[in-house]
């Protein structure tokens, strides 16, 4: 329960930063939205109705909150990131829809997703920092995500949704690394 509350607190702080930093650029806004979605993915794999409820709330906020609405009203210069963000959000919602008591039965998938979430969060945060520490975080995130790789395919709706989400988490932060420019702080 403490871990869930800590992750929720981090997500709320990230959301607060999203709301307060309108001038930080669309790329940073999109990275922050992806960070919220990775937090939501983490909640989605935890057992219990409360975790799924908070996962859905974070995903809804990321996908249709004021930050995303502002992104849709702007120029289309970050369309690749927008598409990746929508894909990630859709995958979280698909997993939540498929999540039932099966969550407890899939320890291996849960562990892989948890590792991929951690790696994706490190990569996204590293990009937001854009300095030497950010580069270190990117490197560590890549390493963690590489260890969470899975070639498993599932039969049930939950396994299929989890495998799809896992694939998207492996990509989260990767495309942006190639196209982003470190910010100066």
Average pLDDT for 32-38:
92
pLDDT-wise least confident of 49-53, 147-151, 156-160, 181-185: 181-185
For residue 159, the model assigns a pLDDT of 86
Exposed, middle or buried by CB within 10 Å (0-12, 13-18, 19+), for 150? middle
Of 32, 87, 24, the residue nearest 58 (C-alpha)? 32
Confidence band (pLDDT; 50, 70, 90) for 178?
A: very low
- End-to-end distance of the chain based on CA atoms, in angstroms? 35
Average pLDDT for 57-86:
79
| pLDDT > 70 fraction of the chain, expressed in percent and rounded | 72
For residue 39, the model assigns a pLDDT of 94
Rounded CA-CA distance 55/38 in Å is: 10
For residue 100, the model assigns a pLDDT of 67
**Whether the Cβ atoms of residue 135 and residue 126 lie closer than 8 Å to each other:** yes
């Amino acid at each position: 329960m403490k871990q869930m509350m800590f992750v929720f607190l981090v997500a709320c702080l990230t959301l607060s930063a999203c709301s307060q930093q309108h001038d930080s650029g669309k790329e940073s806004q999109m990275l922050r939205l992806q960070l919220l979605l990775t937090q939501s993915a983490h909640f989605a794999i935890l057992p219990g109705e409360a975790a799924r409820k908070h996962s859905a709330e974070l995903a809804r906020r990321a996908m249709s909150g004021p930050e995303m609405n502002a992104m849709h009203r702007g120029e289309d210069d970050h369309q690749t990131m927008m598409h990746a963000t929508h894909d990630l959000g859709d995958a979280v919602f698909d997993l939540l829809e498929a999540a039932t008591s099966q969550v407890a039965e899939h320890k291996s998938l849960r562990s892989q997703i948890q590792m991929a979430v951690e790696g994706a969060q490190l990569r996204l945060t590293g990009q937001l920092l854009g300095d030497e520490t950010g580069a270190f975080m990117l490197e560590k995130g890549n390493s963690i995500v590489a260890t969470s790789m899975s070639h498993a395919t599932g039969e049930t709706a939950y396994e299929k949704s989890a495998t799809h989400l896992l694939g998207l988490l492996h990509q989260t932060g990767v495309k942006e690394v190639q196209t982003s420019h470190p910010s100066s702080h």
